[in-house]
Amino acid sequence: MTDSARSARFLIVGPQGSGKGTQGVLVAEAFGVPQVSTGDIFRANISGGTELGTIVKAIIEAGDLVPDELTSALVRDRLAEPDADCGFLLDGYPRNRGQVDDLEAFLGSRGESLDAVIELDVPREESISRISRRAVEQGRTDDTEEVIANRLAIYERETAPILDVYRAQGVVVRIDGVGSLAEVTARIFEALAARGIEPCEAVADGAVA
């Protein structure tokens, strides 16, 4: 394996409906690293009754957004756990430039950096179509086209710009997110392999199947 394959520190980014949650699970499993999402971290701390979890619970119950500083503190705690020593896949964090700066400072203090930022490129119309279809299948009447469009606008305004930071670092892997699950997964592994970042062949085959 090449030097870049010795660690697997990834960030997956994409708009709602891009399939990044599902693809993130597959990539994390293939590389044997934890998928780290802020939603899971919030729930784990709340259910575990941690000090930070108690604070987050109060914020969420009040209908407010969890501040960047607190979100970053929770992510730092998670990434400091032993199972993330050799890598991780971040999903849903960082969401904005402030969180990018927090993550960069944390990784830099450990002499680490992201090996790849996986960008799932899905046209807005396709995202809206996918989310609308999923809403119908799941009977979610709150996912109206207007609500979906607003979520995408927030992503485009706040999250998409963080990719410029990582493009400057040369770590963005842009993936066409339109196609079947298997097709998109295969594109991700091919793009990572082109950079010398490959999981164990047997594990990767199992993930793509």
* Active-site option among 20, 78, 130, 187: 20
Q: How many domains does the chain have?
A: 1
Instruction: Tell me if residue 57 is catalytic.
Output: no
Nearest to 19 by CA among 146, 182, 144: 182
Interatomic CA distance for residues 209 and 205, integer angstroms: 6
Instruction: Tell me if residue 97 is catalytic.
Output: no
Is 52 within a domain?
no
State the CATH number of the domain containing residue 204.
3.40.50.300
* Active-site option among 6, 110, 133, 134: 134
Is 63 within a domain?
no
Is 172 within a domain?
yes
pLDDT tens-digit readout, 89-131: 999 999 999 999 999 999 999 999 999 999 999 999 898 888 8
* Active-site option among 43, 57, 76, 95: 95
Amino acid at 38: T
Low-confidence ranges of the chain (pLDDT < 50): 1-5, 201-209
Nearest to 59 by CA among 78, 38, 80, 77: 38
The model's pTM is 0.84
Instruction: Tell me if residue 134 is catalytic.
Output: yes
Give Cα separations from 142 to 127, 138, 145, 174, 203 (angstroms): 16, 11, 9, 31, 39
* Active-site option among 43, 57, 97, 151: 151
Is 174 within a domain?
yes
Is 121 within a domain?
yes
Angle, CA 44 vertex, CA 99 and CA 92 arms, to 5°: 30
Instruction: Tell me if residue 20 is catalytic.
Output: yes
Is 81 within a domain?
no
Instruction: Tell me if residue 151 is catalytic.
Output: yes
Which domain, by its residues, includes 109?
3-34+89-208
Query: Mean of the per-residue pLDDT values for the chain?
Result: 88
Is 66 within a domain?
no
* Active-site option among 6, 110, 133, 140: 140
Is 24 within a domain?
yes
